[in-house]
Structure 1
Amino acid sequence: MSLESLTSDALELLKNLITTPSFSGEEDETAALIRKWLESRDIPCEQIGNNIIAKNAYFTPGKPTLLLNSHHDTVRPNKGYTRDPFKPTEEEGKLYGLGSNDAGGCLVSLLACFAYWHKQADLSHNLLMVASAEEENSGPNSLRGILQDLPHIDVAIVGEPTEMHLAIAEKGLVVFDATVTGTPSHAAHPNADNAIYNTIAVLEWFRNYSFPKVSETLGEVKLTVTQIDGGKQHNAVPAHVDLVLDVRVNDCYTNAEIAELLQQEAPCPLRPRSLRLNSSSIDPGHPLVLGGKALGRKTYGSPTLSDQAALSCPSLKMGPGLSLRSHSADEFVEVKEVVEGIAIYVDLLERFLKPERFG
């Protein structure tokens, strides 16, 4: 299969994916499209839930394995759309449609790259392609849910929009529920322990709090209060106000350490929802990173979460598109970004899978 024909086929697949709704947990139709795309190119694959899995033709037990992964589920379109989110429209080099940027362009680029290398022999690593489901909601049937069914993974490339630069680290996430208490009362009577007023000082504490350890790659841990809920009627002071905190964790801390620190110091009770979405990284001297830098790609730390959080191996986040477009109204990816992305993926894997060609 020529790279030119694979690129054309990948763009056609992307349009078909946009046409087909694939909200998290409802990806069966896009799973069928991906499976058909692979099988039509004589690439055997299997399906677990709505995850599509394929191995290269010369997959050899005992050889290290490189995972290529991106997701085919999407968020639901927001109310700001002025276009049909399920109608792939190409205008002035931009391909519009829900999931085009996050992460359809990445997914079809990795599929094309995998197809290019599928039947080539004497590679340094096995290749494992996983088009995963439920990434957007970190669901039980996501990549995390099928890891026990996959071969051992030694290193991974996770396809997310990074402008094809190298996200060599990714922040983790802990969501906390917090409660600020007070004395419930009738609004007509004096109350020096109003939970809503008590919340003011708590919000100020969270706004001014900083974690001492700063990462060279990922910067500071970022704490943001994202939700607040208190009171049900105009004439009653509530007994408590509920807050939600979003904490993006750098690679200086584990999520468990963040939870312990905040629970000790915060001026109100905190309950972490989960501690499993830890930060991810890859050594800046890893051959994948060095190969990408040789191709002119830059390294950086990513503040956003992806399926990297499911992996315990070194992982690199990299893909066509721009992260700021993700989940936005009238989402798009530039066609040239996908074309260039496929070429860069193929060149990167050539340096990684055939290192003898580069001395």
Structure 2
Amino acid sequence: MSPTRLLAEQLIARPSVTPQDAGCIDLIAARLAPLGFVCEVIDSGPADFRVRNLWAIRPAALAHQAQDAIKTIVFAGHTDVVPTGPLDQWTSDPFTPTERDGKLYGRGASDMKTSIAAFVVAVEQFLTARPDAPLNIALLLTSDEEGPAVDGTVVVCNQLKARGERLDYCIVGEPTSVDRTGDMIKNGRRGTLSGRLVVKGIQGHIAYPHLARNPIHQLAPALAQLVAIEWDRGNAFFPPTSWQVSNIHGGTGAGNIIPGQVVVDFNFRFCTESTPESLQSRLEAVLQQHGLDYELKWVLGGLPFLTTPGSLVDAVQAAIRDVAGIETELSTTGGTSDGRFIAQICPQVIELGPPNASIHKIDEHIALADIAPLTAIYQRVLDNLAATAS
């Protein structure tokens, strides 16, 4: 059994349903400490939702070169997994790693415990071959990525920023590939901005509409206008910003009452052509134009980030080409990731991991054939970045 698969199975066997870590971070720290990593466990959050985070860094062993001239690469990921769903629908126990038909089954196999295992083994093999490489190497792990994500990576990033720590490159191990490891990487993600709109009317009997004010009727023209707006046209890396309504609720359930209010939940997935402030002001201008009596609460889930082709993208593309023999596709599609937090303190962030077709599903799995290339690609990225730093 390969060392990456062995470590991945040890991690999968730990039932780390968010925000639980179930000992994963302690296991990783024990592997990193003998390599010279300084491992700092940062716990955060209330007692009933305690989150465990790990910041581990190994400074380059170069006495003749100033540390501030050495680049730092971070491998980032999460040890927590989503709930299993109905256990009786799994072919095998989700926390018992099981090989079947050339695949490794278990919750977290693809998202993203195999990536974490590949991080560790790639670093071990790289440092065995090049113990004096001119790179600072770090790992940032959390048990709060699949949950609210308020006590995880963002907490570590804020601490690193307060200390003045400089990060140069980051690879997030999210499952980004489609058919085989390395065929797609994410070099950015859209931002997410949510809102809850409450439009107020006057409740009354449906037979006496002149004595009431129907907020659904008042909202309808504004809603139609918002649906038709072109918020931006996107750019070479991002699709246009999208505005979508996710929920509408109005009424008491009775068929003879005009409701007193209507509640609308909506979300922007926005690119770098728009800002949260511009989207907020444009939407509220429409509401005011229609004379609505409303309350609106906003939640900014994350800013967009983009890493244009440069030293990190070049190193990753070359590594995938050398190991897998394919030209990777750059993409910014999909939801959010913890890359949105890291990008606030690190100028170059990409996401690279195994195929994502089974993530969050019953019988989550990774093809055994995808494990070795993932480790090799991570190691080759280290080789490529070290070569440019020498």
Aligned match for 2:258, one of 228, 237, 243: 237
Greater Cα offset, 198-207 or 64-73: 198-207
2:137 alignment partner AA = L
CA distance in 1, matches of 2:305, 2:138: 20
Residue 182 of structure 2 is aligned to residue 175 of structure 1: no
CA contact (8 A) 1:23 1:74 kept: yes
Residue identity opposite 1:307 in structure 2: D
Aligned ranges 1:1-359 → 2 under 5 Å = 8-39=2-33, 43-49=37-43, 50-56=52-58, 58=60, 61-62=67-68, 63-79=70-86, 82-83=89-90, 84-118=93-127, 120-150=130-160, 151-163=165-177, 164=182, 165-187=184-206, 189-190=208-209, 193-234=213-254, 235-266=256-287, 269=294, 271-275=296-300, 277-284=302-309, 286-294=310-318, 295=321, 296-311=327-342, 312=344, 313-355=346-388
Over aligned residues, Cα RMSD in angstroms? 2.8
Q: Whose radius of gyration is greater, 1 or 2?
A: 2
Structure 1 segments unaligned to the other structure (5+ residues)? none
Give, in whole Å, the separation in 2 of the partners of 1:302 and 1:59: 38
Aligned to 2:267, the other structure's residue is in SS state: strand
The total of aligned residue pairs comes to: 350
The amino acid of 1:77's aligned partner reads: T
Q: Kindly tell me: are residues 298 and 276 of structure 1, through their superposed partners in 2, closer, same or farther at Cα, counting changes over 3 Å? A: same
CA distances 1:33-78 after superposition (whole Å, capped 9, x unpaired) = 3233434767552211211222225267312311111111122234
Offset from partner CA, 1:10-29 (integer Å, 9 cap, x none)? 22222232222223322253
Alpha-carbon offset, residue 339 of structure 1: 1.7
Change (3 A) 1:281 1:23: same
User: Partners in 2 of 1:98 and 1:237 — Cα distance?
Assistant: 48
5+ long unaligned stretches in structure 2: 44-51, 322-326
- Quote the Cα distance in structure 2 between the aligned partners of 1:196 and 1:41: 63
Give the whole-Å Cα distance in 2 for the aligned partners of 1:219 and 1:349.
31
Task: Report the 3-state secondary structure (helix = DSSP H, G, I; strand = E; otherwise coil) of the residue aligned with 2:24.
Answer: helix
Give the structure-2-normalised TM-score. 0.80
TM-score (norm: length of structure 1):
0.86
Take 1:47 and 1:33, find their aligned partners in 2: how far apart are those partners? 12
Quick one: percent identity of the two aligned structures? 23
Distance in 2, matches of 1:231 and 1:85, equals 42
Q: Distance in 2 between matches of 1:228 and 1:89?
A: 43
| 1:132–1:58 distance in 2 versus 1, CA, 3 Å | same
2:49 is matched with none
Structure 2: which amino acid aligns with 1:318? Answer: E
The one-letter amino acid paired with 1:31 is I
C-alpha distance in structure 2 between counterparts of 1:333 and 1:280, whole Å: 28
Q: Deviations over 1:257-315 (max 9, x none)?
A: 2222222234665735333611111121x112112333232222233211111022223
